[in-house]
């Protein structure tokens, strides 16, 4: 059987077994099946993009992109074994362990990001979860960045009881905690904590009244079914994440996933489109991996429903597209920052 015939057979099988999806079903709901999202992936590419763009325009300005800047406020030395991460102390990478950044340096970085057009400032720390002594310093960072008039976001790993409430009281707007991948594939990437541990932290954040930022990483060797299952898990949360970062794996030398081949770019765009359809009211963010994307590929992602991006030269330990190139792309496409 030829490769094209195999694809046709797979599409026919999925369409036969999946419940048909009507346009009116594209409204926000919490009952997506993996088969339904797989059926989205298997649509002809142009049909999928048309559908995603149509839904996107029902809820957002199609020409406005939200810009976030991400700063690593504590780099390296993490005890966890996330197979994609160069900050894990378990792997031999070129990332050195650093202490928590001084407050003044964080505030200066936030001011610079705001001056360049970022509306949200996210602070990330490499550890399993914050200790109480570090927590007080993080709370000061949240307060000071909030005072600049920016939206605040942190990604601090797993939270202990009561920590989410402290973050809320300090003025935190968003907490980032990615599912990374679906439950079935999770153990092949991370073993030092479980998929349920991630869901527990997300629940704590929700209970504290903080908005959730949660998505995943694709290109880690997972199957399309794993990707569809991850999107279904996010969409079927009691309240879907307000922001959904979709990361394209950046293979980091020295990590277990450091030599994986790149993902098919069209598969990445299909994931963006499926996320937009399954979570119509969420911001879908282009995250890690953008530095390897052409302007044309990014434009396809925006057409597929991505309406948020990380803006700035660095994402934790990975490079990102420089601001000047992003500004030029916005002008070429007639986009505005929001």
Catalytic residues: 78, 82, 85, 122, 153, 213, 285
Q: What Å distances lie between residue 81 and 205, 218, 219, CA to CA?
A: 23, 18, 18
Number of Cβ within a 10 Å radius of residue 166: 18
Rounded to whole angstroms, how far apart are CA atoms 140 and 152? 12
Phi, psi of 25, deg, nearest 5: -80, -5
User: Which two three-digit tokens encode residue 100?
Assistant: 């928590």
What is the rounded CA–CA span in Å between residue 214 and residue 30?
Answer: 16
Stated length of the chain: 338
Q: Which two tokens stand for residue 95?
A: 């990332």
Torsion over CA of 302, 303, 307 and 308, rounded to 10 degrees? -20
Q: Enumerate the H helices of the chain as residue ranges.
A: 3-17, 34-41, 45-59, 103-115, 132-147, 163-170, 183-186, 195-207, 224-235, 265-278, 295-303, 323-333
217 touches 180 (CB < 8 A): yes
Strand 318-319 to strand 314-315: parallel, antiparallel, or no bridges (unpaired)?
antiparallel
Provide the 3-class DSSP secondary structure of residue 187: coil
The sign one gets for the Cα dihedral 60, 215, 76, 219 is: negative
C-alpha dihedral over 34, 37, 38, 41, to 10 degrees? -160
Secondary structure letter of residue 338 according to DSSP: -
| Whole-number Å distance between alpha carbons of 164 and 202 | 10
Chain CA centroid to CA 329, Å: 21
- Answer yes or no: are the C-beta atoms of 230 and 210 closer than 8 Å: no
């Amino acid at each position: 059987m030829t490769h094209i015939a195999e694809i046709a057979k797979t599409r026919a099988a999925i369409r036969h077994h999946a419940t048909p999806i009507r346009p009116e079903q594209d409204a926000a709901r919490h009952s997506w099946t993996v088969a339904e999202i797989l059926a989205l992936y298997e649509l002809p590419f142009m049909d999928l993009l048309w559908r995603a763009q149509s839904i996107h325009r029902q809820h957002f300005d199609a020409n406005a992109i939200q810009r976030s800047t991400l700063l690593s406020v504590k780099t390296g030395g993490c005890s966890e074994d996330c197979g994609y991460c160069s900050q894990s102390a378990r792997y031999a990478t070129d990332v050195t362990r650093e202490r928590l950044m001084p407050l003044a340096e964080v505030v200066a970085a936030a001011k610079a990001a705001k001056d360049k057009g970022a509306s949200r400032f996210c602070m990330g720390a490499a550890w399993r979860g914050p200790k109480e002594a570090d927590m007080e310093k993080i709370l000061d960072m949240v307060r000071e960045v909030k005072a600049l008039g920016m939206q605040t976001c942190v990604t601090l790993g797993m939270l202990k009881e009561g920590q989410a409430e402290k973050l809320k009281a300090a003025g935190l707007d968003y907490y980032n905690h990615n599912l990374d991948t679906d439950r079935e594939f999770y153990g092949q990437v991370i073993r030092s904590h479980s998929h349920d541990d991630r869901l527990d932290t997300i629940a704590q954040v929700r209970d504290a009244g903080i908005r959730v930022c949660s998505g995943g990483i694709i290109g880690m060797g997972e199957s399309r079914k794993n990707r569809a299952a991850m999107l279904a898990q996010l969409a079927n949360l009691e309240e879907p994440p307000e922001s959904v970062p979709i990361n394209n794996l950046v293979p980091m030398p020295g990590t277990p996933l450091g030599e994986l081949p790149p993902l098919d770019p069209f598969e990445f765009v299909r994931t963006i489109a499926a996320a937009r359809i399954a979570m119509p009211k969420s911001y879908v963010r282009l995250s890690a991996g953008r530095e390897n994307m052409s302007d044309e590929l990014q434009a396809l992602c925006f057409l597929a429903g991505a309406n948020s991006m990380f803006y700035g030269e660095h994402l934790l330990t990975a490079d990102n597209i420089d601001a000047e190139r992003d500004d030029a792309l916005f002008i070429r496409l007639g986009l505005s920052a929001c």
